[in-house]
Amino acid sequence: MADTDFDYDLFVIGGGSGGVRAARVAAGEHGAKVALAEEDRYGGTCVIRGCVPKKLMVFASGYSDVVDEAKCFGWDLKQGPFDWHDFRYRLMKELDRLEQVYRKLLANSGVETFDQRARLRDAHTVELADGTTKTAKHILVATGGHPVRPDLPNADLGIVSDDIFHLEKLPKSLLIIGGGYIACEFACIMRGLGVEVTQYYRGAQILRGFDEEARGLVAESMRDSGIDLHTGTNIVEMSLASEREEGGQPTGSDATMGASAQQAADLRESAEGAKAGQSGPIWVKSTNGGEKVFDMVLFATGRDPSTHDMGLEDIGVKLGRRGEIEVDEYSQTAVPSVYAIGDVTDRVNLTPVAIREGMAFAETVFGGNPTPVDHELIPSAIFTQPEMGTVGLSEEDARDREPVEIYCTSFKPMQTAFAGKADRVLMKLVVSKETRVVLGCHIVAPHAGELIQMAGIAVKAKLTKEQFDATCAVHPTMSEELVTMRKPTRTA
Ligand code: NDP
């Protein structure tokens, strides 16, 4: 088939961050004829049900501590109630605005869009939900991922992160299952918004895979802020509290974990309207035998790639164990005309990575310049309170590889210490003993996300500890410690 026989040079399935960027660059910069299909809202996980609304909720939740702190700085502010409806209205308006921006960006680049589901019929053909087919020289799958619930009877009584932004009412009490990014971020957000938060994590410490000391401080700070965090604990059973109760009293609740009839009644009232948790308070039994009733349960137990019923395997695209599309370093699948980027490939599931994969794909296929995606030394932040920013190797991973020096300091930051708070921050560098290169940087502090972006440049550039030290401190800041730690805390 000649190139001109195809309807398009590129058909993109999925209008999230990665797909939209690939489509725009292919059409706008390389002059390709491009179409894109999206079955839901443009912007994908990040813009519509992930990073953006989450971060706005982080901001909203941060104000709950401001009044007390401000008093210590001489301000007499009054704490009013948090108005979820008002905030949610503004949030939805902002998401509408951003979706329009995404649509305009595509239109201005000359990308034709189809607001419907698409699946692959063959290596060059896409079938749309309305039954029409489109052919393309290249097809890019950028369908992202979706949250998954554990395999547990009645798990559909719990909500997932997608549902949070649409709650009619905030719950009074919330149980969060999981100890990853989403679980910890929403535990802090909801606590800040005044919700009683309990968190069960099955492992020994939350945020598995991150630097031990850093995640230890995050866990400690979360507990200090009032989050009832239980590690080594999981949910084993759940059902509607009303189905287990007689006269509002949950059966079998023990003294430590049970809810009173009044609590159960309160919960019933405040649970009204939550989308997935609409049905009322939920009785939960945990691995340690405890039973408790919660207003709402949030499963933050991971995300799976969205490859179901896409026709991928039928045409020879290989999928991994979790349904992820297997690709090479150029994001090419086992079918040469089909590429995949972003969370659907389950490489590094972060928006900026999907965007880079999209740009590398466009450069490779339409720019004639094969460009592999660099997945090394990607900085990231977890928007807990305090935030955690990280780039490079954890102390544990680094010392498994080579002898290292650890430079670490933990202290009370000026602003909250002045307000009499016990909050601590952590600044940590993991340094190769042999090369002196800074292998990892870990920060737990307010705005750690902002700080790690800057530190990430130095770590990515493989600067040495001595080059860090040669940089003059900015005083007084928290992050000046990154250039003033002279003596190793320990060697390993
Ligand atoms: P994660 O994989 O980070 O965490 C999933 C959590 O659920 C883990 O603690 C896991 O435990 C636990 N879990 C999994 N299955 C079960 C089960 N059956 N029962 C109980 N617990 C279970 O997934 P998230 O959904 O939090 O986030 C998905 C991805 O999205 C992240 O990896 C990240 O790439 C991205 N993300 C990034 C953010 C950011 O950059 N700030 C914010 C949010 C998401 P265990 O550790 O034992 O496996």
Q: Could you tell me the pTM of the whole model?
A: 0.93
| C-alpha span between 312 and 318 (Å, rounded) | 8
Q: Catalytic site residues? A: 475
Summarize pLDDT for 353-368 with one digit per residue, the tens.
Answer: 999 999 999 999 999 9
In a 13 Å sphere around the CA of 415, the CA atoms on its Cβ side amount to 12
Give the Å distance between the CA of 235 and the centre of ligand 1: 16
Pocket test for ligand 1, best of 181, 212, 299, 304 (most atoms within 8 A of CB): 181
Cβ contacts of residue 457 below 8 Å, gap of 6+? none
Binding site annotation covers 181? yes
73 close to 26: Cβ distance less than 8 angstroms: no
Cβ contacts of residue 459 below 8 Å, gap of 6+? 377, 379, 391, 392, 438, 439, 440, 441
| C-alpha span between 209 and 373 (Å, rounded) | 22
Binding site annotation covers 178? yes
Pocket test for ligand 1, best of 47, 161, 182, 384 (most atoms within 8 A of CB): 182
- What is the β-pairing status of strands 145-147 and 303-305? antiparallel
Give the Å distance between the CA of 179 and the centre of ligand 1: 7
Summarize pLDDT for 286-327 with one digit per residue, the tens.
Answer: 999 999 999 999 999 999 999 999 999 999 999 999 999 999
Structural domains of the chain ordered from first start: 8-145+303-365 (3.50.50.60), 155-299 (3.50.50.60), 380-491 (3.30.390.30)
Give the Å distance between the CA of 485 and the centre of ligand 1: 33
| C-alpha span between 108 and 290 (Å, rounded) | 57
Q: What is the pLDDT along the chain (492 residues), one digit of tens a residue?
A: 777 899 999 999 999 999 999 999 999 999 999 999 999 999 999 999 999 999 999 999 999 989 999 999 999 999 889 999 999 999 999 999 999 999 999 999 999 999 999 999 999 999 999 999 999 999 999 999 999 999 999 999 999 999 999 999 999 999 999 999 999 999 999 999 999 999 999 999 999 999 999 999 999 999 999 999 999 999 999 999 998 865 444 443 433 333 333 343 343 344 433 445 567 899 999 999 999 999 999 999 999 999 999 999 999 999 999 999 999 999 999 999 999 999 999 999 999 999 999 999 999 999 999 999 999 999 999 999 999 999 999 999 999 999 999 999 999 999 999 999 999 999 999 999 999 999 999 999 999 999 999 999 999 999 999 999 999 999 999 999 999 999 999 998
